[in-house]
C-alpha cells in the first residue's frame, strides 16, 4: 500500500464486475462475513460503532474513498465529484466528532448523482433530513459541529475506516447489522460461499418446519459428544 505524502485526488477507480456486485447484493452482511472465512471475515468487518442512521437501510457498491483532516471535510466534496452512479462513499477523519463530514445537502447531491450510500468514520449531521431523503448512511458519530474546507485531503487512496483497510473499488456492503468491506480479490470467494451458506439455511428451515429441533439440525448433539461434554438428565442440585 502506497501512502500519499501530500494532498491528492485520483479520479479513477477499478470497480468489480457488475454481475458479481449484483450477486453480492442478494445477501446480508452476515452471510458475506461468513463467506470471507474466519480471518478475513473479522478483519473486514467494521465495529458495532458503525451504525445505520435509519432502520432497514441496505447498500452494496464499490468504494470511493476520502481521507479528511480532523475538523475538515474538503475531501468529501472531491469524492462526490469523482464518484459514479452505484458507488458508495467511504469517508474518514480518523473517527473524531470535530467537524461533521456529512450532511443533508451532500446527501441530496449524492442521491441525484445515483450514489447508493455513504459510510462515515466520523460525524454526520442533519440526521432527520437525511432520514426523510431515504439515502442510506452509516456513521460512528452524530454532531452538528461546523467543518472547515481547507485540507489537506486525499481521495481514492487506501484508507483505514473504523479499523478496517478500505481500498478504492472494494465492495462495501451494509445493512442493519453493520458494514462489511470485501476486498476485490476476495469478492468471488465471499459470494460463492455466501450462496452455499444460504442454500444450507434453506435446508435448515425446512427441517425445523418438519419438527426437528435446532440442536440436532445444526449437529450440536454430535459436537457436544465429540467434545466429551456430558448431558445429564438431572438438576445440578441432584448431581451434587
Calpha distance 99→40 (Å, rounded)? 32
Calpha distance 69→106 (Å, rounded)? 18
Q: Answer yes or no: is pLDDT of 86 > 90.
A: yes
Q: What cell does 207 get?
A: 427441517
Calpha distance 198→190 (Å, rounded)? 12
**Domain 8-192 CATH assignment equals 3.30.1490.20:** no
Write down the domain spans for the chain. 8-192
pLDDT confidence bin for 1, thresholds 50/70/90:
low
Task: Write down the pLDDT at residue 166.
Answer: 98
Is 42 assigned a ligand-binding role in the annotation? no
Calpha distance 48→101 (Å, rounded)? 19
**pTM for the predicted model, two decimal places:** 0.90
Is 206 assigned a ligand-binding role in the annotation? no
The tens digit of pLDDT for each residue in 162-212 reads 999 999 999 999 999 999 999 999 999 999 999 998 887 888 788 889 888
pLDDT confidence bin for 117, thresholds 50/70/90:
very high
The tens digit of pLDDT for each residue in 128-162 reads 999 999 999 999 999 999 999 998 999 999 999 99
Is 104 assigned a ligand-binding role in the annotation? yes
The mean predicted confidence, pLDDT, of the chain is 94
> pLDDT: is 214 or 21 the higher one?
21
Is 105 assigned a ligand-binding role in the annotation? yes
Q: Is 148 exposed, middle or buried (0-12, 13-18, 19+ CB in 10 A)?
A: middle
Is 126 assigned a ligand-binding role in the annotation? yes
- Expressed in percent and rounded to 5, the helix, strand and coil fractions of the chain are 35, 25, 45
Is 24 assigned a ligand-binding role in the annotation? no
Task: Write down the pLDDT at residue 205.
Answer: 87
Task: Write down the pLDDT at residue 182.
Answer: 98
Strands (E) across the chain are located at 8-9, 51-52, 59-68, 88-92, 117-124, 137-142, 153-155, 159-161, 164-166, 171-175, 178-182
Task: Write down the pLDDT at residue 240.
Answer: 82
The tens digit of pLDDT for each residue in 5-62 reads 899 999 999 999 999 999 999 999 999 999 999 999 999 999 999 999 999 999 999 9
Amino acid at each position: 500500500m502506497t501512502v500519499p505524502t501530500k494532498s491528492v485526488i485520483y479520479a479513477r477507480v477499478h470497480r468489480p464486475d457488475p454481475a458479481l456486485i449484483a450477486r453480492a447484493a442478494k445477501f446480508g452482511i452476515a452471510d458475506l462475513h461468513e463467506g470471507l472465512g474466519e480471518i478475513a471475515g473479522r478483519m473486514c468487518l467494521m465495529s458495532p460503532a458503525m451504525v445505520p442512521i435509519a432502520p432497514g437501510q441496505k447498500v452494496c457498491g464499490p468504494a470511493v474513498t476520502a481521507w479528511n483532516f480532523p475538523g475538515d471535510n474538503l475531501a468529501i466534496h472531491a469524492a462526490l465529484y469523482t464518484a459514479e452512479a452505484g458507488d458508495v462513499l467511504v469517508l474518514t477523519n480518523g473517527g473524531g466528532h470535530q467537524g461533521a463530514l456529512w450532511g443533508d445537502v451532500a446527501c441530496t447531491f449524492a442521491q441525484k448523482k445515483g450514489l447508493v450510500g455513504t459510510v462515515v468514520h466520523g460525524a454526520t449531521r442533519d440526521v432527520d433530513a437525511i432520514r426523510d431523503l431515504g439515502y442510506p448512511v452509516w456513521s460512528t458519530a452524530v454532531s452538528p459541529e461546523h467543518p472547515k474546507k481547507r485540507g489537506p485531503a486525499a481521495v481514492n487512496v487506501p484508507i483505514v475506516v473504523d479499523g478496517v483497510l478500505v481500498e478504492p473499488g472494494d465492495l462495501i456492503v451494509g445493512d442493519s447489522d453493520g458494514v462489511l468491506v470485501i476486498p476485490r480479490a476476495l469478492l468471488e470467494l465471499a459470494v460463492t460461499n455466501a450462496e452455499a451458506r444460504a442454500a444450507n439455511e434453506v435446508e435448515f428451515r425446512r427441517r425445523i418446519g418438519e419438527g426437528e429441533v435446532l440442536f440436532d439440525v445444526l449437529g450440536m448433539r454430535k459436537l457436544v459428544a465429540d467434545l466429551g461434554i456430558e448431558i445429564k438428565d438431572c438438576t445440578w442440585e441432584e448431581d451434587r
